[in-house]
């Protein structure tokens, strides 16, 4: 065990005298006894036999040419007998693997990835889910005009100019195909109804901000969608920011998102899906029941003979009509949610030119290179950090194990000095 055992001055003097005596140097008079002890002990020192001395001389001279049965140390593999020596190497390997999984693991699925590395949820085959063919049956009372914020100097004017109403979306692009008109027919039973939402955030250079927001509106119209609401703010100091609440026909959502993503540097893109089939069919059944009830009441009304019967049946008919109207409204709402996907789109100005997407040109500039280099450094720093986080405990553990093994081996060896 290692511990401090301080020596007194007297003990230090004696040890110094002992070292001098062993070195053959003169010692103080009062230490002569110690000098004699050294001489006596050294006089009892065992000596090699001349034959052994000669044999050892020869072996040293020849460099121990005939090693004993074991291989020479230089070619031995100590980790075979001491596997714990592999612990640091194994720890390093594990750390690198963990770091790689952490850094790159998120990209290992089957989803698409946009140019900035954001995950695109393609929803698998859900895009092909049959709908009842309804078009953009948008409730114009709620989203007929743009609701502009006070974000910028000319925000109100721009918003009003750029946000077409749902009822008056002009096909600005001759190639645009307006969505087919909504059908009020009740879809066949058991048809799956899915509501899709998407969030998209773009960054664009300040110089391209207005052009990008204009392009957003044009793109939405081209795919038969509408801008339900928009907020556009612009400032020379902090750059512009615009947010759009879009409705895109579900069947064209993926292509529309792809087109919108090309308008700038995508900083965020995600999609969500909600199955509303149960709600839809529940509303359908309630509507069907109410209609059947109304037909029955009408038949009863035709057979009524007294004024009291007529009044009672009319009251029931009013109630049933209210339920029919409610179920109809709910069905329409659900149908709109299934037919039109909601897209929350944000466009932020102030991005570097190198981060611009299609709106700013696609050349790989020195700015792009600098950005890529920075990204590489970030990834490397992340790998190093994760490696360190894994390696540090392993290194401590390895050091503790090594110390324990070493100490244990030393104690086992020194146990040979214990009295039998």
Partner 1 sequence: MATPSNTSTESFDSLYRECARDMYAYVRTLLGDDASAEDVTALAFERAYRRRATFDGRRGSERGWLFGIARNAALDELRRRKRSAPLLGELPDEAARAPEEEADLAIRRTTVRVALAALDPRDRELVALKFHGGLSNAELGVVLGTTESNAGTRVHRAVSKLREACHAPS
List of residues contacting partner 1 (CB under 8 A)? 2-7, 11-12, 14-15, 18-19, 22-23, 33-34, 36-38, 40-49, 52-53, 55-56, 59-61, 63-64, 67-68, 72-75, 410, 412-420
Q: Are 179 and 249 in contact (CB under 8 A)?
A: yes
Judged by beta carbon, residue 177 or residue 411, the one nearer partner 1 is 411
Smaller CB separation from partner 1, 21 or 287: 21
CB of 85 to partner 1, least distance (A): 14
Beta carbon nearer to partner 1, 72 or 170: 72
Please spell the DSSP secondary structure of 167-231, one letter per residue: GG----STT--PPPPPP-SPPPTT---EEEEEEEEEE--GGGHHHHHHHHHHHHHHTT-EEEEEE
Residue 90: CB minimum distance to partner 1, A: 23
> Least CB distance from residue 122 to partner 1, whole Å?
57
75 vs 302, beta carbon nearer partner 1: 75
- Which residues on neighbouring strands pair with residue 244, listed in sequence order? 230, 345
**Which residue number, 4 or 190, has a Cβ lying nearer to partner 1?**
4
What secondary structure letter does DSSP report for 7? P
Residue with tokens 């960054």: 203
14 vs 156, beta carbon nearer partner 1:
14
- In the complex, the smallest distance separating the C-beta of residue 81 from partner 1, rounded to whole angstroms, is 14
Pairwise CA distance, residues 291 & 138, whole Å: 25
Answer whether 175's CB lies under 8 Å from 221's CB. Answer: no
Residue 49 or 110 having the CB closest to partner 1: 49
Cα distances from 127 to residues 30, 85, 251, in angstroms, run 104, 56, 6
**Distance of closest approach, residue 109 Cβ to partner 1, in angstroms:** 48
189 within 8 A of 281, measured Cβ to Cβ: yes
Whether the Cβ atoms of residue 198 and residue 342 lie closer than 8 Å to each other: yes
Taking CA atoms, 381 is separated from 52, 145, 393, in Å, by 62, 48, 19
Cβ atoms 198, 144 nearer than 8 A: no
**Identity of the residue, 30 or 414, whose beta carbon is nearer to partner 1 in the bound complex:** 414
Residue whose entry in the numeric block shows the structure tokens 């030119």? 353
Minimal distance in Å, beta carbon 82 to partner 1?
A: 15
Q: How far, in Å, CA of 127 to CA of 257, rounded? A: 13
Give me the least distance between CB of 93 and partner 1, in Å please: 24
In the complex, the smallest distance separating the C-beta of residue 7 from partner 1, rounded to whole angstroms, is: 6
178, two tokens: 């307006």
């Amino acid at each position: 065990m290692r511990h401090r055992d301080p020596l007194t001055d007297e003990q230090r003097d004696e040890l110094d005298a002992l070292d001098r005596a062993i070195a053959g140097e003169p010692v103080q008079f009062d230490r002569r006894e110690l000098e004699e002890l050294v001489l006596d002990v050294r006089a009892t020192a065992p000596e090699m036999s001349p034959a052994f001395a000669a044999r050892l001389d020869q072996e040293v001279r020849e460099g121990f040419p005939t090693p004993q049965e074991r291989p020479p140390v230089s070619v031995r593999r100590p980790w075979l007998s001491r596997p714990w020596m592999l612990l640091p190497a194994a720890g390093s390997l594990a750390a690198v693997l963990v770091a790689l999984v952490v850094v790159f693991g998120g990209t290992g699925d089957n989803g698409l990835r946009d140019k900035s590395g954001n995950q695109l949820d393609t929803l698998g085959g859900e895009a092909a889910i049959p709908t009842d063919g309804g078009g953009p049956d948008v409730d114009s009372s709620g989203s007929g005009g743009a609701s502009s914020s006070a974000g910028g100097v000319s925000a109100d004017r721009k918003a009003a100019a750029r946000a077409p109403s749902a009822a008056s979306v002009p096909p600005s692009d001759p190639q645009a195909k307006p969505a087919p008109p909504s059908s009020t027919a009740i879809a066949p039973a058991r048809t799956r109804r899915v509501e899709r939402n998407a969030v998209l955030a773009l960054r664009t250079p300040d110089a391209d901000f207005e052009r990008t927001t204009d392009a957003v509106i044009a793109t939405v119209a081209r795919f038969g969608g509408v801008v339900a609401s928009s907020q556009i703010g612009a400032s020379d100091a902090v750059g512009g920011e615009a947010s759009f609440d879009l409705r895109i026909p579900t069947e064209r959502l993926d292509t529309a998102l792809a087109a919108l993503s090309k308008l700038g540097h995508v900083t965020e893109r995600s999609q969500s899906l909600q199955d509303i089939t149960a709600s839809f069919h529940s509303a359908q059944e309630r509507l069907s029941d109410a209609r059947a009830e109304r037909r029955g009441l009408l038949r009863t009304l035709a057979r009524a003979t007294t004024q009291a019967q007529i009044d009672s049946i009319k009251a029931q008919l009013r109630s049933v009509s209210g339920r029919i109207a409610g179920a109809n409204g709910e069905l329409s709402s659900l149908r709109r949610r299934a037919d039109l996907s909601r897209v929350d789109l944000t466009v932020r100005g102030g991005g570097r030119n190198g981060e611009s997407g299609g709106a700013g040109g696609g050349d790989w500039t020195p700015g792009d290179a600098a950005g890529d280099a920075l990204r590489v450094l970030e990834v490397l720093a992340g790998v190093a950090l994760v490696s360190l986080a894994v390696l540090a405990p392993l290194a401590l553990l390895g050091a503790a194990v090594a110390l324990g093994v070493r100490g244990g081996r030393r104690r086992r060896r020194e146990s040979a000095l214990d009295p039998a």
